[in-house]
């Protein structure tokens, strides 16, 4: 039993308790102390992680019994991907708290308490080893963010919070149904619920399901994870939520909450459903490319600088999804790297926009501009993080974008490759066009807001509070919030191996354990044979060809016998797929079969 995961989840939860009972003016200081201590503990945990960083295995195993009779536990563990996202979460939270000092002046106790509860839920998602525990944390993140938007957001905060909740909650319910069906399928096959909610156990079981079943599960899982990313066409909740959320809420949304969707694809979809993913990778790649281009074109016509950056998240995370479905190690490395880098650069942009808004109470580029003359320090940071988001070589955004594009480009149908794919140069070409569009809309935005003649709106419009105590340019507190983000953007841009070396084994292990080279080759062979686009006998043709023809197994044949020894091979008849599963070790019982006839030994 390792206490680290429990400690990192409990610290923010326990920190929220004194905030509820102490005076409001102390809330921000308690939140700062709690999030800072939690970050320090996460750094200690990272140092203790040792060889687990590079060997691709899981560490920090914490087993807590709960409803063990039905297989529900509070078990936790972490690999290097989980640890990176936990570190990103604990790193961003104290910056969000400190960045909120001047922006939040009313209902401070509730605000900082919700931030701490949100941190605990996000951390639980990345540590979860039990399916129910994962889903509870995954879904509970909606509650604090709903209240942060509804209570502290902009003029249209009510509509934004309701739309955010309905979209993400509905998608998550469909994902829950798919996960619960997988657990039931395992329990039905195993005859026990003892391990039915253990994520590694379910992953092994889901890989053995027929292609038709995997395809339905893929649809169910992507219904929730695609909304959370968000992926086209279920992205429409995000721009409104980003625009109306308080600054810290936007930073957390961009930095961590959106990554729950891509993490869900990485942790559940890819390892559980290799045959379905291989069959539908091109379609999912097309959705990713559409998201890249569609959102980039929308960004080009925005006047609200915060909405522009919000839509840019949809475009940028399209690269992340494209890398995942390239189905090769480079793509998965680039995707996880993109999760980290997008959280740093886009989170910083939202902080900068919030600092501008506190001074001018507007985000309209037609009303405010040329701020480089009056706010040179702010302008310097703005240009720096825009270049990071654009993907300037030498900064963090370039490496992750480049890896995702090269991975898509090389994901061709050459069966001789170690990791053949189903995307190819055309996917990379259209996604690369999105990089050009991103450079255009972000640099145009920078030209309007930072350079050119100084434009300042009149003060006092709107119903927002006057923050007249703020200096014209950034304060030392605000600079202190931005400097750590800038440092990491440079470090990860110049030395990406700090992260990529620690991602090499986990992504390789995921692809090999799930059997992706073989699953993709089977799909390529099925397509080369001009088989109609359908489920061929519930398995890819390349795999079903290697399985003996199903026959009726006589009662006097041992279930563990080799398929070649079964009398009547090749004869017609209705087989019991359970017997075949015992022989082949891969094809399970039909997903809706409730009663199995016993086989006499």
In this model, does residue 28 exceed pLDDT 60?
yes
Query: What are the domain boundaries of the chain?
Result: 4-458+476-519, 548-601
pLDDT per position as a tens digit, 238-274: 888 888 889 999 999 999 999 999 999 999 999 999 9
pLDDT at 453: 86
Taking a C-beta distance cutoff of 8 angstroms, is the pair 458, 451 a contact? no
DSSP per residue, 471-496: -SS--HHHHHHHHHHHHHHHHHHH-T
Q: What phi, psi does 169 have (nearest 5°)?
A: -70, -45
pLDDT per position as a tens digit, 390-434: 989 999 989 999 999 999 999 988 867 888 888 989 999 999 999
pLDDT at 217: 95
| Torsion region of 568: left, alpha or beta (phi above 0 gives left; psi -120 to 50 gives alpha) | left
Q: How far apart are CA 227 and CA 128, in angstroms?
A: 21
In this model, does residue 157 exceed pLDDT 70?
yes
Task: Pick the closest to residue 125 from 76, 60, 183, 73 (CA basis).
Answer: 76
pLDDT at 50: 84
Confidence of residue 551 (pLDDT cuts 50, 70, 90): very low
pLDDT at 415: 67
Taking a C-beta distance cutoff of 8 angstroms, is the pair 143, 120 a contact? no
pLDDT per position as a tens digit, 329-356: 999 999 999 999 999 999 999 999 999 9
Taking a C-beta distance cutoff of 8 angstroms, is the pair 396, 489 a contact? yes
383-397, 451-465, 564-578: which is most confident: 383-397
Q: What percent of the chain has pLDDT over 70?
A: 86
* 80-99 vs 108-127: helix crossing angle, rounded to 10: 170
Q: Tell me the pLDDT of the chain averaged across its residues.
A: 83
pLDDT per position as a tens digit, 114-139: 999 999 999 999 999 989 999 999 99
Enclosing H/E stretch for 399: helix 396-410
pLDDT at 458: 67
Confidence of residue 533 (pLDDT cuts 50, 70, 90): very low
pLDDT per position as a tens digit, 183-202: 999 988 888 888 888 899 99
450: CB partners within 8 A, 6+ apart = 370, 371, 372, 379, 382, 383
Task: State the virtual CA torsion across 459, 460, 461, 466 in degrees, nearest 10.
Answer: 100
pLDDT at 469: 67
In this model, does residue 463 exceed pLDDT 90?
no
pLDDT at 317: 92
20-24, 37-41, 531-535, 581-585: which is most confident: 37-41
| 518 exposure class (CB count in 10 Å sphere: 0-12, 13-18, 19+) | middle
Q: How far apart are CA 252 and CA 92, in angstroms?
A: 8
Strand partners, 60: none
pLDDT at 597: 40
Q: How far apart are CA 25 and CA 56, in angstroms?
A: 45
Q: Cis before residue 230, ω within 30 degrees of 0? A: yes
pLDDT per position as a tens digit, 206-250: 999 999 999 999 999 999 999 999 898 888 888 888 888 899 999
pTM comes to 0.84
In this model, does residue 575 exceed pLDDT 60?
no
Q: How far apart are CA 331 and CA 421, in angstroms?
A: 11
In this model, does residue 505 exceed pLDDT 70?
yes
pLDDT at 467: 46
Which of the two residues, 595 and 111, has the higher pLDDT score? 111
Confidence of residue 525 (pLDDT cuts 50, 70, 90): confident
């Amino acid at each position: 039993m390792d206490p680290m995961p429990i400690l990192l989840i409990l610290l923010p939860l326990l920190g929220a308790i004194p905030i509820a009972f102490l005076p409001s003016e102390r809330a921000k200081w308690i939140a700062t102390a709690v999030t800072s201590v939690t970050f320090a503990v996460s750094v200690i945990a990272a140092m203790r992680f040792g060889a687990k960083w590079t060997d691709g295995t899981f560490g920090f195993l914490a087993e807590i019994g709960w409803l063990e009779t039905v297989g529900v536990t509070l078990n936790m563990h972490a690999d290097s991907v989980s640890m990176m996202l936990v570190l990103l979460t604990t790193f961003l939270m104290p910056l969000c708290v400190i960045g909120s000092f001047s922006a939040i002046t009313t209902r401070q106790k509730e605000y900082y308490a919700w931030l701490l509860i949100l941190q605990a839920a996000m951390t639980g998602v990345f540590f979860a080893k039990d399916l129910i525990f994962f889903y509870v944390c995954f879904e509970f993140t909606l509650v604090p963010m709903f209240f942060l938007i509804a209570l502290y957001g902009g003029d249209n905060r009510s509509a934004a919070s309701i739309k955010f909740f309905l979209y993400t909650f509905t998608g998550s319910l469909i994902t829950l149904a798919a996960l619960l069906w997988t657990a039931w399928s395992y329990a039905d096959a195993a005859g026990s619920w003892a391990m039915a909610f253990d994520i590694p156990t379910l992953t092994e079981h889901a890989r053995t399901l027929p292609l038709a079943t995997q395809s339905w599960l893929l649809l169910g899982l992507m219904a929730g994870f695609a909304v959370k990313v968000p992926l086209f066409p279920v992205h429409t909740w995000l721009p409104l939520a980003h625009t109306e959320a308080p600054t810290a809420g936007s930073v957390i949304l961009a930095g961590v909450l959106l990554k729950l969707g891509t993490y869900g694809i990485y942790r559940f979809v890819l390892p559980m459903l290799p045959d379905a993913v291989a069959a539908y990778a091109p379609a999912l790649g097309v959705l990713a490319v559409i998201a890249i281009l569609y959102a980039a074109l929308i960004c080009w016509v925005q006047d609200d600088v915060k909405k522009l950056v919000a839509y840019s998240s949809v475009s940028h995370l399209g690269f992340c999804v494209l890398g995942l479905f390239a189905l090769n190690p480079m793509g998965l490395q680039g995707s996880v790297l993109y999760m980290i880098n997008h959280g740093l650069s886009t989170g910083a942009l939202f902080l900068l926009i919030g600092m501008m808004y506190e001074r001018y109470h507007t985000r309209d580029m037609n009303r405010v501009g040329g701020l480089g003359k009056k706010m040179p320090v702010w302008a310097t940071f703005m240009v720096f993080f825009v270049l990071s988001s654009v993907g300037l070589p030498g900064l963090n955004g370039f490496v992750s974008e480049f890896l995702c594009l090269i991975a898509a480009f090389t994901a061709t149908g050459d069966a001789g490759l170690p990791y053949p794919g189903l995307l190819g140069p055309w996917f990379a070409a259209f996604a690369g066009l999105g990089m050009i569009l991103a450079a255009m809309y972000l640099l145009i935005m920078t030209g309007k807001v930072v350079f050119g003649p100084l434009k300042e709106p009149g003060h006092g419009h709107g119903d927002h509070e006057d923050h007249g105590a703020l200096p014209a340019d950034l304060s030392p507190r605000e600079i202190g919030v931005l400097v750590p983000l800038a440092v990491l953007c440079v470090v990860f841009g110049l030395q990406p191996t700090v992260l990529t070396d620690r991602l090499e084994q986990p992504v390789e292990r995921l692809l090999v354990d799930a059997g992706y080279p073989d699953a993709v080759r089977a799909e390529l062979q099925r397509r080369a044979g001009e088989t109609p686009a359908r489920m061929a006998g519930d398995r890819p043709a390349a795999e079903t060809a290697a399985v003996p023809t199903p026959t009726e197994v006589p009662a006097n044949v041992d279930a563990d016998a080799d398929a070649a020894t079964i009398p009547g091979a090749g004869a017609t008849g209705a087989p019991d797929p359970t017997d075949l599963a015992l022989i082949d070790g891969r094809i399970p019982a039909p997903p809706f079969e409730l009663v199995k006839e016993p086989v006499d030994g």
